[in-house]
Amino acid sequence: MKKFNYFLFSALVVVVLTVSCRKEHDEAVTKVIDVMMDANGTYSYTMPPSGDVDDVMEILQQAKHFVVSQITTDASNNTLFEYTPELNYNGTDEIHINTVEGEHKDEDHHGNNNQGGFGNCTGGNHEDDEVNYVFRITITRATKPE
């Protein structure tokens, strides 16, 4: 009987750990941003925070007609998307940026203090606030003043 009780207790512990560390997979939100700009101009967009502290933004589909198309951070640690088209380019470019789960090798940002925690488990559920951006950038020739 002791073996059965031990087995039942072990199974209960596994179930509790699995449920408490499971991600809640919310559906990803896709934001389409249509941009109109003049040729040889620059565009920048500050992205609102999404996901948890270790999530990062990543370009999944890069622009085809660019000099600069990158994700950076500003002095306040805000995430920025920056874009500059090819010189004298006239047309449309599209960039897809997604939230992805990040990795912290030296730090544990989940309250486990590197004590062998269970990934993103902090005793509660891990929210998965994924935001996907689609930037549709239309570049037109700058008109000359008459």
CA distance 51 to 130: 6
Task: Specify the pLDDT at position 36.
Answer: 97
pLDDT tens per residue, range 47-60: 988 777 778 899 99
Task: Report which DSSP code applies to 14.
Answer: H
Report if pTM > 0.85: no
Domains defined for the chain, CATH in brackets: 26-102+127-140 (2.60.40.10)
Q: How confident is the model at residue 96 (pLDDT cuts 50, 70, 90)?
A: very high
Residue found under tokens 């939100």: 29
Question: What span, in angstroms and rounded, lies between the C-alpha atoms of 45 and 57?
Answer: 13
Residue 3 CA to residue 42 CA, distance in Å, equals: 69
The count of other CB atoms within 10 Å of the CB of residue 72 is: 11
At residue 24, does pLDDT exceed 60?
no
CA distance 65 to 80: 19
pLDDT digits (tens, 9 = 90+) for 28-45: 789 999 999 999 999 999
Residue with tokens 């891990």: 126
Mean pLDDT to the nearest integer, 12-17: 58
State the pLDDT confidence band at 121, using cuts at 50, 70 and 90.
low
| Edge-to-edge strand list for the sheet holding 79-85 | 43-47, 79-85, 66-73
Largest interatomic CA distance in the chain: 95
